[in-house]
Homo-oligomer: A and B are copies of this chain.
Amino acid sequence: MTSEPASPPSRIDRRKERTRNALLQAATTFLADGHPNVSIQQITDAADVGFGSFYNHFDSKEALFEAAVARVLETYGTLLEDLVAAYDDPAEVFAVSFRMTGRLQRQLPEFVRVILNEGMRVLIHDRGLAPRALRDIEAGVAAGRFDIENLQLALMTAGGALLGLLQLLETEPDADAGALSDQMTARLLRAFGMSKQEAADLCSRPLPPQPEL
């Protein structure tokens, strides 16, 4: 046999993967709780893995934390990507992304706390939410749906307001995440040149179901 199907991950591969995930999860929790100053020992304790195994996966605490933030942004971004895949109108893609981002806070509060602790830096991050939002805004301009003269400024407007929404939802766990997300999205669509009526229509359409996580 010269050609074999790819062999399934070995027991060692699976254990490596588990260790890596446990480290990432522990880092995510520390970042969400606003404790980036923990030691590697505290991280491996929280992850329930041996101290020595840390350096098999990451060169430094900073590298682990960077990977943890990238994982959060990428997870959030990919979830949104899947949710909007069925829509054609770029304005609706933008609207559904925003309306769902707020709603997802209720499902992923720890991820959102990581994002909030990262703060405005996520808006200049090259992964996750910012590049996708920029692409959506650009498509909306190209399709004549948005009236925008400066894409970067529009991204900062939308991204900043979105972080404001996530902070509000984090601070008020009992508030109606759906209603607040829809109101915020409608405001942004008006900031991007849509009429009150158009924005309201776009923000009252049915949404895809919340993803199973």
A residues in contact (CB < 8 Å) with B: 37, 116-121, 123-124, 147, 149-150, 152-157, 159-168, 171, 180, 183-184, 187-188, 190-193, 196
Once A116-B119, A180-B150, A193-B196 are accepted as A-B contacts, the answer to whether A164 and B168 lie under 8 Å apart by CB is no
B187 touches A157 (CB 8 A): yes
A149 CB contacts on chain B under 8 angstroms: 183
B165 touches A156 (CB 8 A): yes
In terms of DSSP, what is the predominant structure of the interface of chain A? helix
Distance to closest chain B CB from A26 (angstroms): 19
A156 touches B183 (CB 8 A): no
A164 touches B171 (CB 8 A): no
Distance to closest chain B CB from A23 (angstroms): 21
CA distance in complex: A195, B198 (Å): 14
A157 touches B184 (CB 8 A): yes
CA distance in complex: A153, B121 (Å): 22
Number of copies: 2
B124 touches A152 (CB 8 A): no
16 contacts between A and B (CB under 8 A): A37-B37, A119-B163, A120-B164, A121-B167, A123-B164, A124-B167, A150-B180, A153-B180, A156-B184, A157-B164, A157-B184, A160-B160, A160-B161, A160-B167, A190-B190, A191-B191
A152 touches B168 (CB 8 A): yes
Distance to closest chain B CB from A160 (angstroms): 3
Residue among B37, B156, B161, B187 making CB contact with A168, cutoff 8 Å: B156
Residue among B150, B165, B190, B196 making CB contact with A160, cutoff 8 Å: B165
Once A159-B164, A160-B165, A196-B193 are accepted as A-B contacts, the answer to whether A183 and B153 lie under 8 Å apart by CB is yes
Residue of B whose beta carbon sits closest to that of A120: B167
B165 touches A161 (CB 8 A): no
CA distance in complex: A124, B168 (Å): 9
Distance to closest chain B CB from A94 (angstroms): 14
Distance to closest chain B CB from A97 (angstroms): 16
4 additional contacts, CB 8 Å, given A149-B183, A160-B163? Answer: A37-B37, A120-B166, A150-B180, A157-B161
